[in-house]
Amino acid sequence: MSAPKTLFEKLWERHLVRPQTESTPAVLYIDLQLVHEVTSAQAFTELRNRGLKVRAPQRTIATMDHSTPTTPGGFKAMPVLDQSAQSRKAQLDQLAKNCEEFGIPLLALGDKRQGIVHVIGPELGLTQPGMTVVCGDSHTSTHGAFGALAFGIGTSQVAHVLASQCLLQTRPKTLEVRVDGTLRAGVSAKDVILAVCTRLGVGGATGHVIEYTGSVIRALSMEERMTVCNMSIEAGARAGMIAPDETTFEYLKGRPHAPKGAEWDAAVADWQTLRTDEGATYDQTIVIDGSALEPWITYGTNPGMGMSINQPVPDPDSLGDRSERDSAVKALKYMGLTAGKKLAGTPVDVVFFGSCTNARISDLRDAAQVLRGRHVAPNVRVLVVPGSQQVKRQAEAEGLDVIFKEAGAEWREAGCSMCIAMNGDQLRPGQLAVSTSNRNFEGRQGSGGRTLLASPLTAAAAAVTGVITDPRTLLEVAV
C-alpha cells in the first residue's frame, strides 16, 4: 500500500513532467492558464520575437479586467481624453490583437462572460478539481478553492506556459490551516481569512502551500471558499487549497465548461480521491477556533495588520520583533490612526464593494442585506462593482441593483476597479476607504489613499453609518 499523501502531494505528483533534482526545479504540466491585459503583453512580444506559437490555445483563456472602465457604458460612455485613459485603451486593444494572432479565446468588453479573471474561471466551470491553474496575477490562489493547485506567475513565466504548457517550479512545503468550530452570525469567510493573515503575518506562510481544513471550512459555500483561498498569498503562501466535496460538485455541475454525461460521472469519481489521506502529515499545522471569531478589519498597510472590529488598535511596542514594531509605527502614521484607540466610530470617505475576493453574487447579497431600506451616509462615496457581467446580470435579476441605487450607491460595470486603481477608479490622497478587496498597501487604491480591508457586511455597515461599525449591530444579531 502506498504511503498516505496530502492533497498537495497528490496534485504535485499528477502534474510532474520531470521531478526536481538537487540543481534543477521540477517541470510541472499546467492544465489552464488565465490571461489578462496587464501581465500578458510582454509575454506575447516574447513569443513573437522568438517565432513561437501558443502550445495549447484550448487550455488558455483571456479576459479584460484590470484596466477596464466600470462607468456604466464602459469606454463608449467615457470621454477618452487624458493620456492615462488612452494608454488603458491601448492595453486592451493590444490584448485583443494578441489573442486574435495567437488563437486564444478572449472575453472582451461587451462579452456577456467578461469579468475579473478569478471570477470568470470558476463561474464558467473552467476551474476544476485536480487541475494546475496559473495566471500572471497573485490572487490565482482563488482557484485552489476547487482542490486545484493554482498560483500566480511572473510575466516571463506567462510566456513559458504559453509556449510549452509547462512551468519550472521548486516544490513548496505544506501548511494546514484548520479552522474548527462554527462561525457566529455576522461573521463571514472574509473575517476568517483576515484572522488567518493576522495570525500568520505577511510572511508566515512563505514557501508553503496552505490546505484549509476543519468544520468551518467544510461548511463554507464555494464562493466563501474562494474568498478564503484568494488571500492565501497575503500570508506569503504559494497557493491555498480546499479538498473538493459535494459542495464543489454541486457548484460545478451544469456550468458551460464542466464535463457532461458519463464524463461528469468519471470526473466526480476521480475528484472524490482528491483529499488528504488519513495519516498524511503536513510540514506545519495551525489551528484557529472559528467559534471565537468576530468581524475582522485591518488597521495597517498590509493584510496581516488586522484585529477584531471591537478591539483597540494594537500598540506597536506590544508587537513581535523590532522590524515588526517599526513597520507598525510607519503604518499607523500613514493610516492616521492612534494605537490604543478603537477603530469603531472612525469616519470613512469611501466604501468599495468589489474585487476577486468579494464581488460575487453572495457578497452583493450580503451588502444588500444591510443597505436594503437604508441610505448611505452623507459624504460617503459607495461603489458597487460586480466581479463579472454574469454576477451583474444575476444581481439585477434579483433587484439588488435597485437596492444599491436607492441607497445612494454607484452601480458599476464589472472589473477590478478600485482594488488596484488602474482604471481611473481611485481614492484621493488622504481618503479613508473600507474595501472588500485584498490589499491595503500604501497607495494601492490611489496615491495617498488609506484602505481598511473588511467583509461586505462590515463595509455595508460603514456605508450606512459613515463610520467603522460592527455589522452585527445593524443585523440585530448577538455581538
Which parts of this chain interact with ligand SF4 (CB under 6 A)?
Answer: 65-66, 116-118, 137, 139, 355-356, 416, 419-420, 437-438
Q: How far apart are CA 224 and CA 234, in angstroms?
A: 17
Handedness of CA 254, 259, 262, 268 (dihedral sign): negative
DSSP 279-334: T---SEEEEEEGGG---EEE-SSSTTSEEETTSBPPPGGGSSSHHHHHHHHHHHHH
Minimum Å distance from CB 118 to ligand SF4? 6
Query: Which residue's CB is nearer to ligand SF4, number 122 or number 314?
Result: 122
Minimum Å distance from CB 206 to ligand SF4? 19
- Cell numbers of 218, please? 467544510
Query: Which residue's CB is nearer to ligand SF4, number 231 or number 407?
Result: 231
**What are residue 350's DSSP bridge partners?**
381, 433
Query: Which residue's CB is nearer to ligand SF4, number 419 or number 460?
Result: 419
Query: Which residue's CB is nearer to ligand SF4, number 116 or number 131?
Result: 116
Minimum Å distance from CB 85 to ligand SF4? 18
Q: How far apart are CA 312 and CA 340, in angstroms?
A: 5
Query: Which residue's CB is nearer to ligand SF4, number 353 or number 411?
Result: 353
Contact status, residue 13 vs residue 132, Cβ threshold 8 Å: no
Query: Which residue's CB is nearer to ligand SF4, number 65 or number 224?
Result: 65
Query: Which residue's CB is nearer to ligand SF4, number 440 or number 465?
Result: 440
- Cell numbers of 2, please? 502506498
Minimum Å distance from CB 333 to ligand SF4? 26
Minimum Å distance from CB 438 to ligand SF4? 5
Minimum Å distance from CB 179 to ligand SF4? 23
Minimum Å distance from CB 167 to ligand SF4? 19
Minimum Å distance from CB 140 to ligand SF4? 9
38-42 contacts at long range (C-beta below 8 A, 24 or more positions apart): 38/66, 38/67, 38/91, 38/136, 38/422, 39/136, 39/137, 39/154, 39/155, 39/158, 40/95, 40/98, 40/136, 40/155, 40/158, 41/91, 41/94, 41/95, 41/98, 42/155, 42/156, 42/159
Handedness of CA 176, 292, 221, 389 (dihedral sign): negative
Residue 257 identity = H
Query: Which residue's CB is nearer to ligand SF4, number 331 or number 422?
Result: 422
Alpha carbon separation from 252 to 248, 260, 267 (Å, rounded):
6, 11, 11
